[in-house]
């Protein structure tokens, strides 16, 4: 069941009002990503303020989630000796059936037992706050214990808990029985209406075997079957379909192919579970007229008897549809609804509002917002961009796309979120009128020893500029890497020439930025704006919109900076980069002290310590706590800066090697490259999916720029760029870690964006208004033509001496022909407008997750799909060739 955005504080307030010293602690399941870490920091601050005990449990993937459900969540159930409680999922499980994977619903083997349905969830309430899409619809429209079945309440809707309407939680809902609560950021309410109707229709359908027969497109075949079987069924009551057991619970609808038994442990549990519901009532209980009208749904009148010698009698009962007809009609309806859900699940993966932003909204509703919570939200939102998580899935950011100006990170929704964060910064950190700010200068120090404020800053697209030299910061920037082509000698010369035009010598730009000449730092932004357009760097520095709503301009594109007194001043991007590096590399990886220069090589043993268990999640979990502590410990955060620099040097070096040696292969549907220890330095670093994703985005952005140059400024594949697959060999485990990124250039606002829904609603309203205006004009023209023709005919009849007895009949003939012409024109216009409205749903979305699962179903490749990012998989070393060959035939971008 889903919680509307307007009721976001309702579960928390209930938790606050029902807590007592003996209550079990709230279990928080957190994904290993910066956005989820920031959201966890916000939530724990709220819990500590209200003295709510809690326990944090990091979760690495689906297998880890299932283990946590078995060891920690299931024992909380009242039927298993627990006392209930709350489980919060941050960035975890939005795409999986949590009722099954956490063990909160009875197993299918015993689901028909008497009274078992009341034991589902058993007081355990799960809050799901996740930005991954698509949602698992079992969580969104189901996920609650059904009320006992009675004669009056047999349907899924009738057995829903009070206060739950069609899976939507209302104000009257009472917590306590448990269930799954999905926090809606707006897209469920605005975008999933069709899926909601299909899901609710399916759960109320009885079980019926589908043998794959052709059912046709209408009821005509059913009528013929009734006529042909009349003699066989005459005098007999039509048999009814078998009803499922009364105790059967509601089912989820996942349309992924089941894996082989050997792969069950390596893939998330997404069982296809059949629907539960109410049987079709016996025919004598159904009103005769209703039955006939439903049988002849495409006609105006029921057909009673076909025998001309026996006219229909009031006492003669109408012919009932046969069991075959009912079965075919039921199968046709079920296939239609299943197709709707299957289409939704196969649209591709994408991202909606960041989890940290949702938690800050909760804090704001509770009146708890402050600078610390605001900073966590800003860092979480910024980290989404660093990992390429957009409304088009994991994809290269679409920069400078004139055809889609709002494309890129979350489209218009991302722009709104950033504007709201800027407004919050101004509200909680009002400027001091006695100390005017130097507009355009990157702040590197605090205003005072006690300064902990957040400021807006015109951050250029450099990397860690406050903690590196200007030259290194520009060299390791993915934006400059793709635009200047710094992987080549000519690209490095372009970079040196840009610095020379700006009047910055190589000696000056290679010293620490904080120790550069103050005049150079003050004039840096002006010089970048002056020369950026000469090198295709129009987005290098954000501008100031002087026509903005506030006196300082809207500052669209500006970054966020926070100070910790004299100890440090960091941008939100700096913190996101450091936290991500701690998660992916660790606090102090071997070889860091040597700080190898770009081009230096290291063996995998120098990066990953010997003796580490083959399960990577056991190595990743300690890194979670290092990154979690660094979010609120400035000294730990500063200590992680060398790790971040080390990782991005390795990304630059590896990306340069791949591009310079032309190790990228062109396949039918995508390009691909393989990272190995023999062909690329620091290859073992990229066994972590996060680091490999950053490398793929780095290379993908460079390829996108190459394509734009080759095609005259247009992205390939319909403006979406070329999809890229990057594989990294983990020699210790004998597997390839594979990540697939979209080409970028995704939709301005996808179907996940509320603006898209508003736009479609507006188009429909405008279409309806235009239709009414057209209809009115046509009526007036039709009436004028009719009067004119009647006048001509009247005169003709008067000349011929005829009367007016046929006037009405001829009038009807004239109007009927005109109405038929106008209605056909209207239907064509409506179809074209409907196509225009629906066009774009799923356009540009990353479909690698769907393609990976299709390949697994069709081949014998040994593949492990365990990551919450469905575009990340692990493939056995020996099976990579066949896996990629089959994958190349799939559509990997919507």
* pLDDT, position 37: 96
* pLDDT, position 556: 76
**31 within 8 A of 91, measured Cβ to Cβ:** yes
Residue at which a domain ends, from 152, 173, 191: 191
Q: How far is CA 526 from CA 517, 522, 532, 560, in A?
A: 15, 8, 10, 20
pLDDT at 31 over 50: yes
* pLDDT, position 69: 94
Looking up tokens 């722009």 gives 415
Residue at which a domain ends, from 618, 650, 682: 650
**356 within 8 A of 3, measured Cβ to Cβ:** no
Asked if residue 695 is part of any domain, the answer here is no
* pLDDT, position 402: 39
| Structure tokens given for 819 | 């109405």
**851 within 8 A of 891, measured Cβ to Cβ:** yes
Asked if residue 321 is part of any domain, the answer here is no
Domain check: are 6 and 155 in the same one?
yes
The pTM (predicted TM-score) of the whole model is: 0.79
More confident residue, 886 or 594: 886
Asked if residue 828 is part of any domain, the answer here is yes
Asked if residue 179 is part of any domain, the answer here is yes
Which residues have CB under 8 Å from 698's CB, separation 6+?
A: 478, 481, 651, 652, 655
More confident residue, 119 or 35: 35
Lowest mean pLDDT among 45-49, 109-113, 632-636, 690-694: 109-113
**55 within 8 A of 27, measured Cβ to Cβ:** yes
Alpha carbon dihedral 497, 501, 507, 511, in 10-degree steps, equals -100
Q: How far is CA 606 from CA 216, 448, 590, 596, 610, in A?
A: 65, 43, 6, 12, 9
pLDDT, the chain, mean: 77
* pLDDT, position 554: 63
- Percent pLDDT > 90 in the chain is 41
Q: How far apart are CA 360 and CA 421, in angstroms?
A: 10
* pLDDT, position 399: 58
Domain check: are 43 and 172 in the same one?
yes
- Percent pLDDT > 70 in the chain is 72
pLDDT at 730 over 60: yes
Domain check: are 27 and 168 in the same one?
yes
749 DSSP 8-state letter: S
Looking up tokens 């390596």 gives 266
Asked if residue 542 is part of any domain, the answer here is yes
Residue at which a domain ends, from 191, 214, 238: 191
Where does the pLDDT of residue 611 fall: very low under 50, low under 70, confident under 90, or very high at 90 and above?
very low
Domain assignment of residue 147, given as a range: 2-191
Domain check: are 576 and 435 in the same one?
yes
Lowest mean pLDDT among 11-25, 729-743, 760-774, 828-842: 828-842
More confident residue, 521 or 289: 521
Decide: helix, strand or coil at residue 454: strand
pLDDT at 266 over 80: no
Q: How far apart are CA 181 and CA 143, in angstroms?
A: 8
CA atoms within 13 A on the CB side of 370: 7
CATH code of residue 65: 3.40.50
Q: How far apart are CA 169 and CA 172, in angstroms?
A: 8
pLDDT at 837 over 50: no
Q: Within a 10 A sphere around the Cβ of 862, how many other Cβ atoms?
A: 18
* pLDDT, position 301: 39
pLDDT at 13 over 50: yes
* pLDDT, position 208: 74
pLDDT at 487 over 50: yes
* pLDDT, position 137: 94
**Tens digit of each residue's pLDDT (9 = 90 or more) over 655-688:** 999 999 888 998 888 899 999 887 777 888 999 9
More confident residue, 796 or 888: 888
**Tens digit of each residue's pLDDT (9 = 90 or more) over 354-402:** 999 999 999 999 999 999 999 999 999 999 988 888 888 888 876 554 3
Provide the terminal-to-terminal Cα distance of the chain, rounded to the nearest Å. 28
* pLDDT, position 544: 65
* pLDDT, position 783: 83
**Tens digit of each residue's pLDDT (9 = 90 or more) over 136-176:** 999 999 999 888 888 787 888 888 999 999 899 999 999 98
Asked if residue 400 is part of any domain, the answer here is yes
Q: How far apart are CA 594 and CA 117, in angstroms?
A: 61
Asked if residue 793 is part of any domain, the answer here is yes
Asked if residue 167 is part of any domain, the answer here is yes
In this prediction, residues 748-769 reach a mean pLDDT of 59
Where does the pLDDT of residue 224 fall: very low under 50, low under 70, confident under 90, or very high at 90 and above?
low
Q: How far is CA 341 from CA 160, 249, 277, 355, 768, in A?
A: 21, 20, 18, 25, 28
Establish whether the linkage from the previous residue to 776 is cis, with ω within 30° of 0. no
More confident residue, 237 or 441: 441
Where does the pLDDT of residue 874 fall: very low under 50, low under 70, confident under 90, or very high at 90 and above?
very high
More confident residue, 804 or 8: 8
Q: How far apart are CA 770 and CA 747, in angstroms?
A: 27
In this prediction, residues 273-293 reach a mean pLDDT of 33
* pLDDT, position 321: 79
What's the total number of domains in the chain? Answer: 3
* pLDDT, position 776: 82
**Tens digit of each residue's pLDDT (9 = 90 or more) over 624-644:** 999 999 999 999 999 999 999
* pLDDT, position 292: 27
pLDDT at 595 over 80: no
pLDDT at 522 over 50: yes
pLDDT at 693 over 50: yes
pLDDT at 517 over 80: yes
Helix (H) or strand (E) segment spanning residue 666: strand 665-666
Where does the pLDDT of residue 130 fall: very low under 50, low under 70, confident under 90, or very high at 90 and above?
very high
Which residues have CB under 8 Å from 377's CB, separation 6+?
A: 38, 42, 354, 356, 357, 359, 360, 421
* pLDDT, position 212: 67
**Tens digit of each residue's pLDDT (9 = 90 or more) over 206-215:** 877 777 666 6
């Amino acid at each position: 069941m889903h919680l509307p955005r307007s009721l976001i504080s309702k579960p928390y307030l209930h938790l606050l009002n029902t807590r007592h010293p003996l209550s079990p602690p709230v279990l928080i399941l957190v994904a290993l990503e910066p956005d989820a870490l920031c959201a966890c920091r916000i939530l724990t601050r709220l819990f500590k303020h209200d003295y709510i005990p809690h326990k944090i449990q990091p979760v690495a993937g689906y297998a880890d989630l299932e283990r946590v459900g078995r060891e920690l969540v299931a024992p909380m159930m009242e039927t298993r000796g627990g006392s209930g409680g709350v489980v919060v999922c941050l960035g975890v499980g939005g795409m999986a059936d949590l009722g099954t994977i956490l063990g909160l619903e009875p197993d299918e083997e015993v689901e028909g037992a008497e009274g078992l349905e009341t034991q589902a969830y058993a007081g355990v309430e799960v809050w799901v706050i996740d930005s991954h899409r698509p949602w698992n619809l079992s969580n969104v429209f189901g996920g609650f214990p059904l009320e006992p079945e009675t004669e009056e309440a047999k349907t899924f809707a009738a057995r829903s808990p009070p206060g739950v309407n069609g899976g939507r939680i209302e104000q009257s809902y009472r917590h306590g029985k448990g269930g799954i609560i999905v926090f809606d950021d707006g897209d469920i309410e605005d975008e999933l209406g069709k899926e909601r109707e299909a899901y609710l229709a399916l759960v109320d359908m009885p079980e019926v075997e589908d043998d794959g027969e052709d059912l046709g497109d209408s009821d005509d075949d059913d009528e013929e079957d009734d006529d042909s079987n009349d003699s066989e069924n005459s005098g007999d009551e039509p048999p009814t379909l078998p009803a499922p057991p009364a105790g059967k619970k509601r089912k989820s609808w996942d349309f992924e192919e089941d894996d082989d038994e050997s792969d069950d442990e390596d893939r998330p549990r997404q069982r296809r579970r059949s629907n539960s519901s109410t049987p079709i009532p016996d025919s004598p209980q159904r009103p005769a007229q209703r039955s006939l009208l439903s049988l002849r749904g495409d006609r105006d009148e029921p057909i009673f008897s076909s025998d001309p010698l026996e006219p229909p009698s009031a006492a003669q009962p109408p012919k009932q549809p046969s069991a075959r007809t009912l079965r075919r009609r039921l199968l046709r309806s079920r296939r239609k609804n299943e197709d709707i859900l299957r289409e939704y699940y196969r649209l591709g993966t994408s991202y909606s509002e960041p989890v940290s932003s949702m938690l800050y909204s909760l804090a704001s509703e509770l009146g708890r917002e402050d600078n610390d919570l605001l900073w966590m939200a800003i860092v979480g939102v910024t980290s989404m961009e660093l990992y390429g998580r957009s409304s088009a899935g994991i994809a290269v950011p679409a920069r400078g796309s004139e055809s889609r100006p709002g494309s890129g990170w979350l489209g218009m929704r991302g722009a709104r979120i950033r504007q709201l964060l800027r407004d919050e910064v101004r509200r909680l950190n009002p400027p001091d009128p006695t100390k005017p700010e130097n507009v355009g200068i990157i702040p590197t120090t605090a205003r005072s020893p006690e300064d902990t404020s957040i400021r807006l800053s015109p951050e250029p697209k450099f990397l860690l500029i406050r903690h590196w030299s200007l030259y290194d910061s520009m060299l390791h920037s993915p934006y400059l890497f793709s635009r200047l082509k710094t992987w080549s000698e000519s690209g490095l010369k372009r970079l040196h020439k840009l610095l020379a035009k700006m009047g910055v010598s190589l000696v000056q730009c290679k010293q620490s930025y904080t120790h550069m000449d103050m005049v150079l730092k003050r004039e840096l932004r002006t010089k970048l704006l002056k020369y950026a357009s000469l090198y295709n760097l129009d987005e290098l520095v954000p501008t100031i919109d002087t026509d903005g709503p506030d006196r300082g301009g809207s500052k669209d594109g500006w970054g966020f900076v926070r100070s910790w007194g004299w100890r440090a001043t960091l941008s939100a991007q700096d913190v996101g980069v450091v936290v991500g590096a701690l998660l992916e590399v660790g606090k102090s990886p071997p070889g860091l002290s040597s700080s190898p220069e770009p081009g230096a090589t290291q063996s995998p043993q120098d990066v990953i310590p010997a003796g580490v268990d083959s399960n990577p999640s056991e190595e990743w979990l300690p890194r979670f706590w290092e990154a979690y502590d660094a979010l609120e410990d400035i000294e730990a955060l500063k200590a992680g800066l060398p790790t971040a620099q080390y990782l991005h040097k390795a990304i630059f070096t590896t990306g340069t090697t791949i591009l310079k040696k032309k190790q990228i292969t062109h396949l039918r549907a995508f390009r691909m490259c393989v990272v190995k220890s023999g062909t690329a330095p620091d290859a073992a670093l990229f066994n972590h999916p996060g680091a490999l994703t950053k490398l793929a985005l780095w290379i993908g952005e460079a390829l996108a720029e190459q394509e734009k140059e080759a095609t005259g400024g247009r992205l390939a594949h319909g403006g979406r760029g070329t999809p890229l697959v990057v594989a990294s060999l983990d020699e210790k485990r004998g597997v390839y870690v594979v990540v697939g990124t979209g080409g970028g250039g995704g939709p301005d606002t996808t179907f996940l964006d509320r603006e898209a829904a508003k736009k479609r609603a507006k188009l429909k309203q405008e279409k309806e208004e235009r239709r009414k205006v057209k209809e009115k004009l046509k009526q007036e023209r039709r009436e004028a033509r009719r009067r004119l023709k009647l006048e001509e005919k009247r005169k003709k009849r008067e000349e011929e001496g005829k009367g007016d007895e046929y006037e009405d009949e001829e009038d009807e003939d004239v109007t009927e022909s005109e109405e038929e012409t106008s209605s056909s024109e209207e239907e064509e216009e409506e179809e074209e407008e409907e196509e225009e409205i629906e066009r774009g749903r799923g356009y540009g979305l990353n479909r690698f997750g769907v393609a990976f699962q299709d390949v697994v179903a069709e081949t014998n490749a040994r593949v492990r799909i365990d990551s919450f990012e469905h575009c990340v998989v692990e493939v056995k070393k020996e099976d990579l060739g066949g896996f990629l060959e089959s994958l190349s035939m799939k559509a990997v971008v919507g």
